[in-house]
Amino acid sequence: MRKIYSGIAALLVAGLVCSCGMNSGSGEAEIESITLDDSSAKTVFYPGDTFTASALLVQSNYVDNTSKKVPLKNCSFKIDGNSITAGSSSFSESDKGDHTITVSYKGCSGDYSIKVLAASEYVAPTFVDNYASIAAWKNRYQWNLANTHDPTVFKWTDGYYYMFGTDASYGNAHDDATKGKHFFGKRSVDLVHWEYVNGIMNDAPSWVATKLNEIRAKMGLDGIAESDISFGYWAPCARVVEVDGVKKVRMYYSIVVDNYIGNGKPTSDSANFDNTWGERAFIGVAESTNPAGGPSAWKDLGFVTCSSSDKALDYSRTSTSDWSAYFYFNAIDPSYFIDDDGTHWLVYGSWHSGFALVRINPSTGKIAAVDGDDYLTGTVTGDFAMGDPWADSAEGLVKNGYGTRIFARGTSRWQPSEGPELVKYDGKYWLFFANDELDVPYQTRVVCADSVKGPYYAFQGSEMTNDVDGKRNGSTSIYPILTHPYKFSDEEPASGGYGSCYGWVGISHCAVFQDDDGNWFYMSQQRLPANVADNAYSNAIMMGGVRRILWSPTGSSKHDTWPMVLPERYGAIPSSYTPDANATDGKISASEIPGTWQHINLVYDKGNMDEASELVLAEDYTMSGALTGTWTFNESDQTLKLGDVTVSLAREVDWEKVPRVPTIVYTGASSTNYATTYWGKKEPSSD
């Protein structure tokens, strides 16, 4: 056994109370026991993995009935009796088997077990999906990816992936938070096991109310007392930046004011409606060099932009069923993008007239001023002097600094798209977005451009940036569908809260990112359908879903590969996992293809789930069931051709099986029928 480096991977220990010799620290009461609890971390390791206890919650209990969380730096750890020291090597193949970890703190110590598997072995995650039984705030360290909504993901220098999101939780459990209440998050070393992280603020920054009332005064309106403002905390986006030689996390966040423009009263009470629209949203920015540190570790830099109108000061609304929209750009759902040439950009918008693009000053994080008339080009000279958030036209909003529209679903002022996420791949700019309303219909689409400024095109070549003949070409048919409500056909739902057998809906508003090996990932919320397990509120159960993106050959007129999302969630199956004797280098072999599969035609069906049906791929290369005709497999690029449609293959976890097991999944889109995406997985029992 080699000594283990305290570095990257995470540890699970659930509810273990350790034995203790009475001991006291300087000025402290005597300790009676310590409890180790972090059911979101992992116990299974592979050759090449390393061990750390940094995800471990250590709670000390004193004889005077007080308790506190113990800093892990004050604890000591041993593995099989050997002290864990920094700088030593990781697990090797020879370490296969069970091992004992001992943790000690001020005379208290206890043992628990971890397992090292061979590279050819795999144990799937066991955390529950239907987390209603542990939804209370006190259980947040057991949540794993429970209560994930509108996530943003980045990797920090401590080896962790961090995720922060919208203030949302089943039963509004986060309302019980007393520290780091807003934009709470999670972190993980393997994208599978996640632990809770405090949010970035306890209250809305004071600048929000100040800026709101400055704008209201210029509009000739009375101010609203800060105590009377109804705030919403939505959809942050964070990236790692380096400013003046200092690496930090820069996070853009949305704060919505849910009061009426006219009388300033909360919109939550229908009796307050005064024939005006609801107030505006604001986007601010904060920075930190310690993203796990809670509010004290974040420096708020203040106002970036806010919702803006091309209707000047005509904020009248005929009724609550009037959707003509006062605001042209809605200042929520920011996506922060840093291009290869060092330019910084922000895309934002939701449901109103489309998505806006603004240039960002890399030094300050604010909207940039440049040395030319067009602030989307030129050299940054400082921060832009923002004009009024209203004008007589969209062109006026451009001049005032609120952005240039780069995407819209159509000409309507109220259109079902939000949550933009901008990334770059193979020299192209890819704009992912959420489509339809947030409950069952929510799903994901993507468009592509040669320039960050557009024009952006759908898969089939429809332009989505500029009007074509007075309307946006293809505005109601942007394909392919990347995610959609779906259900695989599996056995009855298992006990213990697995939940996946019910299928998933509302899969959208994504973060798109890469790991250190260049693999691409899609992370979003996903909700259980209504009335699961006799729970009338089950659609409010929001489990985070991390899925891989495969750049699949599709024959698109705009790019020869297209980002396609895998149907099953990421389970960190090692690349060395090779259950088939003919498989090499972690690849899927031709002999693994024949058998029974579950196939889904992922087609747009508003408010309904696409359900799987049986597909048999026979050894004679014929298909029967969901598809007919012939199939072929290309082992070199891991693609499967099902008739005329090419899909990409990968190993993933079958999350519906009990217990969960590895399987093979596919994703791809038809180059002739743009409305069809294929999702599928192989039945493990047919191997």
557-605 residue pLDDT tens: 667 789 999 999 999 998 778 777 676 677 899 999 999 999 999 999 9
Query: Average pLDDT, stretch 464-475?
Result: 67
> For residues 180-198, b (16+ Cβ closer than 10 Å) or e, as one string?
bbbbbbbbbbbbbbbbbbb
Name the most confidently modeled range: 140-144, 253-257, 659-663: 253-257
Instruction: Report pLDDT for 574.
Output: 85
Instruction: Report pLDDT for 612.
Output: 96
Nearest-Å Rg of the Cα atoms of the chain is: 26
Compute the CA torsion angle 582, 588, 591, 594 (nearest 10 deg).
160
pLDDT at 28 over 70: no
Strand partners, 23: 31
Instruction: Report pLDDT for 8.
Output: 26
* Selected residue with higher pLDDT from 271 and 116: 271
pLDDT at 62 over 80: no
204-218 pLDDT tens trace: 999 999 999 999 999
pLDDT at 687 over 50: no
Task: Say which range, 8-22, 148-162, 248-262, 546-560, has the weakest mean pLDDT.
Answer: 8-22
116 confidence band (pLDDT: 50, 70, 90): confident
343-359 pLDDT tens trace: 999 999 999 999 999 99
Query: Average pLDDT, stretch 246-253?
Result: 98
Gap between the Cα atoms of 198 and 478, Å rounded: 38
Instruction: Report pLDDT for 246.
Output: 96
Instruction: Report pLDDT for 659.
Output: 86
17 confidence band (pLDDT: 50, 70, 90): very low
Quick check: 73 and 2 in contact, CB under 8 A? no
9 confidence band (pLDDT: 50, 70, 90): very low
Spatial CA neighbour of 445 closest among 466, 468, 471, 415: 415
φ, ψ of residue 379 in degrees (nearest 5): -95, 135
Strand partners, 111: 102
271 confidence band (pLDDT: 50, 70, 90): very high
Task: Say which range, 320-334, 544-558, 655-669, has the weakest mean pLDDT.
Answer: 544-558
Instruction: Report pLDDT for 1.
Output: 34
pLDDT at 135 over 70: yes
Quick check: 25 and 107 in contact, CB under 8 A? no
State the amino acid at position 555 in one-letter form. Answer: G
Gap between the Cα atoms of 251 and 298, Å rounded: 10
Q: Residue 399: helix, strand or coil by DSSP?
A: helix
67 confidence band (pLDDT: 50, 70, 90): low
Task: Say which range, 106-110, 315-319, 496-500, 573-577, has the weakest mean pLDDT.
Answer: 496-500
pLDDT at 134 over 50: yes
State the amino acid at position 129 in one-letter form. Answer: D
Query: Average pLDDT, stretch 503-517?
Result: 96
pLDDT at 48 over 80: no
Q: Residue 684: helix, strand or coil by DSSP?
A: helix
Quick check: 199 and 178 in contact, CB under 8 A? no
Pairing of strands 610-611, 486-487: parallel
Instruction: Report pLDDT for 578.
Output: 76
Query: Average pLDDT, stretch 70-74?
Result: 69
Compute the CA torsion angle 209, 210, 212, 218 (nearest 10 deg).
150
Instruction: Report pLDDT for 36.
Output: 59
Gap between the Cα atoms of 267 and 259, Å rounded: 5
Quick check: 377 and 370 in contact, CB under 8 A? yes
24 confidence band (pLDDT: 50, 70, 90): very low
Q: What is the average pLDDT score of the chain? A: 87
Percentage of residues in the chain having pLDDT higher than 70: 85
Q: Is the peptide bond before 659 cis (omega within 30 degrees of 0)?
A: yes
Q: What angle do CA 242, 522, 414 make, to 5 degrees?
A: 95
685 confidence band (pLDDT: 50, 70, 90): low
Which residues, at least 6 apart from 449, have a Cβ–Cβ distance to it below 8 Å? 406, 428, 429, 431, 455, 456, 457, 465
63 confidence band (pLDDT: 50, 70, 90): low
Query: Average pLDDT, stretch 521-533?
Result: 94
87 confidence band (pLDDT: 50, 70, 90): very low
402-416 pLDDT tens trace: 999 999 987 788 888
Give the C-alpha distances (Å, rounded to integers) separating 460 from 24, 448, 517, 670, 678. 70, 11, 31, 10, 17
φ, ψ of residue 255 in degrees (nearest 5): -125, 120
Query: Average pLDDT, stretch 122-141?
Result: 91
Instruction: Report pLDDT for 495.
Output: 60
With the C-alpha atoms ordered 466, 469, 475, 478, is the resulting torsion angle positive or negative?
Answer: negative
Instruction: Report pLDDT for 466.
Output: 82
Percentage of residues in the chain having pLDDT higher than 90: 64
